[in-house]
C-alpha cells in the first residue's frame, strides 16, 4: 500500500511538471514560435525599452541606401533594414536611428518605419508582425502593421537561441519555392541589392548600387588618407631620430 502511494505521488508530480511546462509554452512559446523559449522581461523594463525605440510609421519610399539586414515573410513581404533615416536627419543633435522599408515580391514599396537604436539589428517576421532583434540587449521586439509595438521577448543564450540568431544573419531565404537573396558590390561593406529568383528570371526588389559605390569611394578615400598620414608620420619620426643621433 505504501509503495502504491509513492508511485501515485511520483505520477502526480510528473503530471504537474508536464502541465507547468505546457502553461509556459502557451504563455511564451505559442505567442512566438521560433524554436526557442523566450525569456520574460519585467514589465517596467519592457515599457521603457518600447518608449526609447520611438517607432514611427511612414508611407514614402526612402532613398536607396546600403542594406544592413533583411527578412522575408511567408506572404513574401521583404523587410529591408538600413541605417539611414531621411525623416530625422534634420533634427538637432545626433540620433542614430534605423529605418526598415517593406516591399512586396514585385519590388513595390508597402510601408516603412523608423526606430531609435545605437547598435546593430536583425529582422524577422512572425506572421504579419515585423520582428526586430536588438543586438546589444538581445531583445526581440514585435511590431504590427500599424507601427505599434505589441510585445518584446528576450532571446536566451541557449543552443536554440543561438541557432535562431544565425538564421537571422543569412543572406538567402526561400519562400514558396522562390529564392530571396542579398547581393553585394565588390569593394563594399554592406549589401546593395535585394532580389528574388524564380524559374522565369530575377526580379530586383531593392537596389542601392549607386549608394554602395559611393560608399566604396568614400571608404577608399578615408583609408587612403589614413595611409598617407601614417607614412608621413613615420617619415617625420625617422628624421627626428636621425637628427637626435647627430
Whether residue 241 is contained in a domain is answered as: no
Do 25 and 48 reside in the same domain of the chain? no
Do 75 and 149 reside in the same domain of the chain? yes
What is the tens place of the pLDDT at every residue in 32-51? 778 888 888 998 888 898 88
What is the tens place of the pLDDT at every residue in 190-228? 788 999 998 889 999 999 886 544 444 444 454 455 555
pTM for the predicted model, two decimal places: 0.70
Range of the domain at 15: 1-30
Whether residue 70 is contained in a domain is answered as: yes
Q: How many domains does the chain have?
A: 2
Share of the chain above pLDDT 90, in %: 41
Q: How many Cα atoms are found within 13 Å in the side-chain-facing hemisphere of 42? A: 3
Do 74 and 185 reside in the same domain of the chain? yes
Amino acid at each position: 500500500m505504501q509503495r502504491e502511494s509513492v508511485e501515485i505521488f511520483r505520477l502526480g508530480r510528473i503530471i504537474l511538471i508536464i502541465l507547468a511546462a505546457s502553461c509556459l509554452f502557451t504563455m511564451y512559446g505559442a505567442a512566438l514560435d521560433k524554436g526557442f523559449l523566450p525569456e520574460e522581461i519585467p514589465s517596467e523594463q519592457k515599457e521603457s525599452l518600447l518608449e526609447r525605440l520611438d517607432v514611427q510609421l511612414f508611407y514614402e519610399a526612402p532613398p536607396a541606401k546600403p542594406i544592413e539586414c533583411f527578412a522575408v515573410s511567408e506572404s513574401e513581404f521583404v523587410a529591408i533594414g538600413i541605417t539611414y533615416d531621411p525623416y530625422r536627419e534634420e533634427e538637432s543633435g545626433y540620433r542614430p536611428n534605423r529605418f526598415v522599408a517593406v516591399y512586396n515580391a514585385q519590388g513595390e514599396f508597402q510601408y516603412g518605419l523608423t526606430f531609435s537604436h545605437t547598435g546593430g539589428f536583425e529582422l524577422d517576421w512572425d506572421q504579419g508582425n515585423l520582428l526586430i532583434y536588438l543586438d546589444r540587449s538581445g531583445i526581440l521586439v514585435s511590431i504590427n502593421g500599424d507601427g505599434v509595438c505589441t510585445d518584446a521577448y528576450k532571446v536566451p543564450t541557449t543552443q536554440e537561441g543561438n541557432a535562431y540568431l544565425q538564421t537571422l544573419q543569412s543572406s538567402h531565404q526561400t519562400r514558396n519555392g522562390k529564392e530571396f537573396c542579398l547581393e553585394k558590390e565588390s569593394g563594399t561593406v554592406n549589401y546593395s541589392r535585394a532580389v528574388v529568383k524564380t524559374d522565369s528570371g530575377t526580379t530586383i526588389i531593392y537596389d542601392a548600387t549607386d549608394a554602395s559605390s559611393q560608399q566604396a569611394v568614400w571608404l577608399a578615400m578615408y583609408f587612403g588618407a589614413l595611409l598617407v598620414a601614417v607614412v608621413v608620420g613615420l617619415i617625420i619620426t625617422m628624421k627626428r631620430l636621425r637628427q637626435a643621433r647627430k
